[in-house]
Copies of this chain bind each other. A is one copy, B any other.
Amino acid sequence: MEQTLTLLVLDLVGCFVFALSGGLMAVRKELDIFGVIVLACVTGLGGGFLRDMAIGATPVAALSDWRYLVVPMTAGLLTFYFHPALGRLGPMINVFDALGLGLFVIAGAVKALDFGLSPLAAAVMGLATGVGGGAIRDVLAGQVPVILRRSVFYAIPAFAGAAIVAFGLFLALPQSLVMAVAFVVCVGWRLLAMWRHWEAPLPRGSASV
């Protein structure tokens, strides 16, 4: 029970942070107030929508609990009115974004395991939960998703964290420990990759097809 509450709070915090990133993208694209709110909601909720539709957890969680709708709407409104202040927060935003990623991949992998998926499939769903919202945000804004372009920052730590949770819980390792390790790996990797400008290998030679 208590753990469920913790997961809910973490999930809502992740949703809020991702919604901020969607709102900021909307401000950058000069969308109006409602466009900002809609893009914030789509970004904050998109990953969970994808996961729930894929595993058959319908109606999807965001529609069964009003807090999942109010939180990203609020984030969108805040972005609209206070985006210059958010801009001054600068690197803080990236930290929040990393925390959101960590929360989402864990929540996604745990839920997928609960629905009887294999560890590998649960890891993939954790990844999808973590990066899905941002991918939809970028597609709607007319950009190649940043998760494809800078995978060291997003896709790799997200998959690492999700895989630790999925296989750790599958092997019945202590739940809190597994989640803590996954969180630290995912968030730490994401932040280190950004601060140290890590880059993943690029294809050698130009594309010939």
Contacts and interface: CB of A to CB of B under 8 A. Distances in A.
Interface stretch (A6-14, A52-60, A178-186): A52-60
Given A53-B54, A145-B140, A203 B117 contact: no
Contacts of A86: 209
B205 A83 contact: yes
B54 A63 contact: yes
A24 interface: yes
Of A63, A83, A152, chain B has the most CB atoms within 10 Å of the CB of A63
Nearest to A66: B120
A207 interface: yes
Contacts of A155: 34-35, 38
A206 to B, nearest CB: 9
A207 B24 contact: yes
Interface in A68-92: 69-70, 80, 83-84, 86-88, 90
19 contacts: A28-B207, A32-B150, A33-B201, A34-B151, A36-B203, A52-B54, A54-B63, A63-B117, A64-B118, A64-B121, A69-B121, A69-B124, A80-B201, A80-B203, A83-B207, A83-B208, A84-B208, A140-B144, A142-B144
A194 interface: no
Interface string A125-149: 1000000000100011111110111
Interface of A: 24, 26-36, 38-39, 41, 49, 52-56, 58-60, 62-64, 66, 69-70, 80, 83-84, 86-88, 90, 93, 112, 115-118, 120-121, 124-125, 135, 139-145, 147-152, 155-156, 159, 199-203, 205, 207-209
B208 A88 contact: yes
A209 B24 contact: yes
